[in-house]
Amino acid sequence: MSISTPLTVPDAILLRRSVKSFKPDPIPPEILDQLVALTLAAPSSFNVQPWRIVLVEDPKQKEALAEVSWKQKQVAQAPVVFVFAVDLKAWAKTFPATIAEARRLDAWPERAADYFAKAVPDFHTGLRNSGLDREYAMKDALIAATHTALAAESLGLGSCYMNGWSEEGVKKVIGAADNPDIAIALLLPVGYPAEVPKFSGRLAPEVTVFKNRLG
């Protein structure tokens, strides 16, 4: 993967803003490929990778997404909208492939791989029974989305984290209306900013950061 003149991580973090209007310019395919590769490099709990990311580029699909996203115009304007969905049964469906890959790469010792093959499905069955499976999958997807947003900034693009949408509506647009295993974590329109909003400030660290104990 080659990246030409990317911003450093600190610069990308500090310069990123929530872009509300995009130019119509398309994202070159090689840049979009880099963005996807950097997104998929994100960590996840037990490396389960529950995200199922739909890149919405078709104008009609984007209009339909905007319609179920409080009509927010950045959804229809951006050349690509990353829809971060999660499969709540990824641990059953694709974890065997994850274990096989870790074995192939000699990344997990044989005994650890054997242990995870049983322990991870057991753990997720427990999460499902206690209603926490959605929360766990969401954490992973949001970390992946953060990779996308910072990588986009680094590569000269802009993005906007979004939770202003109806889950039912988004599922319908991406063709997952009848799939109870699929939940939606976040929408992230990505493209070249038409305008970059001003920095809106942050609370002082005295208010939000503590040492050793809260308060």
Ligand X SMILES: Cc1cc2nc3c(=O)[nH]c(=O)nc-3n(C[C@H](O)[C@H](O)[C@H](O)COP(=O)(O)O)c2cc1C
Q: By the criterion CB under 6 A, which residues form the site for ligand X?
A: 17-18, 20, 72, 160-164, 197, 200
**Of 48 and 160, which has the nearer Cβ to ligand X?**
160
Task: Report in angstroms how near the CB of residue 46 gets to ligand X at its nearest.
Answer: 24
Q: Quick one: residue 78, left, alpha or beta (phi over 0 = left, psi -120 to 50 = alpha)?
A: beta
Enumerate residues 6+ apart whose C-beta is below 8 A from 98: 47, 48, 49
- Please state the separation of Cα 106 from the chain's center in Å: 27
Q: What angle do CA 185, 74, 71 make, to 5 degrees?
A: 80
Q: Residue 194 CB, nearest distance to ligand X (Å)?
A: 14
Residues 6+ apart with CB under 8 A from 166: 68, 69
| Residue 120 vs 193, nearer CB to ligand X | 193
- Min. distance of Cβ 72 from ligand X in angstroms? 6
Least distance (Å) from ligand X to the CB of residue 185?
A: 9
CB of residue 196 to ligand X, shortest distance in Å: 9
Residue closer to ligand X by CB (options 90, 170) is: 170
Q: Which is nearer to ligand X, 68 or 160 (CB)?
A: 160
Q: List 158's β-bridge partners, or say none.
A: 191
Select 54 or 186, whichever has its Cβ closest to ligand X. Answer: 186
Position closest to ligand X via CB? 164
